[in-house]
Amino acid sequence: MLKKKISLLFVLLVSSLFFVNHGFSQSFWFGAKGGAAMNFQSWGDGSFSGSVNRDPLFSLNGDIFIESYDEYKKGTLYAQVGYHTRGSSFRFFSFNNTFTEQQGFKFRNIVAEVGAKKTLNLGKELEPYFILGIRGEYTIGTNLDDYINFGSLYYPVSEFVRKFNYGVTAGGGFEMKMSELSNVFVEFSLQPDLSFQYEQQPLFNVIDPWTSQPVNLGLRQVRNLAIELKIGVKFLRKVEYID
């Protein structure tokens, strides 16, 4: 399984390198970034686990990326691939409020993203920039099977997880020059999904394992939203032509 995940990551990275490097010039930036994410989920159902009871899930995410070389500050294109954990948490209260328990639903995704970046070029040490991109995500695993022994129909199950998802990314940051061939940056991004991470069709006359009574479960659709803060470093592969 690990070998399969590494192979998928390698294919996405090679595709990204080809897209940026051959689409613009032989000079390009490459690097890595990582940081923390606050993940939310919109749960479209009518049960006690609806969106109103959802708490954020915190995770650590990382990406490797490549970016076209922008000598004249007109804008660049970038491509990146990384590992991101999506999800949400749910705080369970006992009937007499004597204890609470935090439960987190995690969706571990490989994320490929392409987009555009624009630097404001204000001539300052910290150069502000904006990014706008589109994402494709593939779910390589979840922790939903950890809740099978709870025996509740209201917990999500892995059979209804949608492996492929897509969304958009918008954000910005500040970049600082370290040397002629390297920069560091801090980046903030908002990443809403346009597709459903989890989609369970309505189920009727299902036997509740706790009460042995038939119950009806409504349509359950789950969409991700992530807020990420990362720091990164990038290096310039610069090609100069000499006559």
Give residue 47's pLDDT.
Answer: 43
114: CATH: 2.40.160.20
Domain with 145, as residue range(s), is 2-237
* 40 in any annotated domain: yes
Q: Positive or negative, the Cα torsion across 47, 41, 158, 155?
A: negative
* Consecutive 10-residue averages of pLDDT for the chain (243 residues): 53 56 69 97 61 79 93 88 93 60 88 94 86 96 85 79 96 94 97 94 70 74 96 87 60
Specify the amino acid at residue 45: D
Query: Does 212 fall in a domain?
Result: yes
Does any domain span residue 140? yes
pLDDT value of residue 122? 76
Reference 108, options 141, 69, 81; nearest CA is 141
Residue 213 lies in a domain: yes
Q: Is 69 part of any domain? A: yes
Q: Is residue 243 part of a domain?
A: no
Q: Is residue 242 one of the residues assigned to a domain?
A: no
Is 61 contained in some domain? yes
Instruction: Look at residue 49 in the predicted model and tell me its pLDDT.
Output: 43
Category of 86 on φ-ψ map: left (φ > 0), alpha (ψ -120 to 50) or beta? beta
- Count how many domains the chain has: 1
Predicted structure pTM score: 0.81
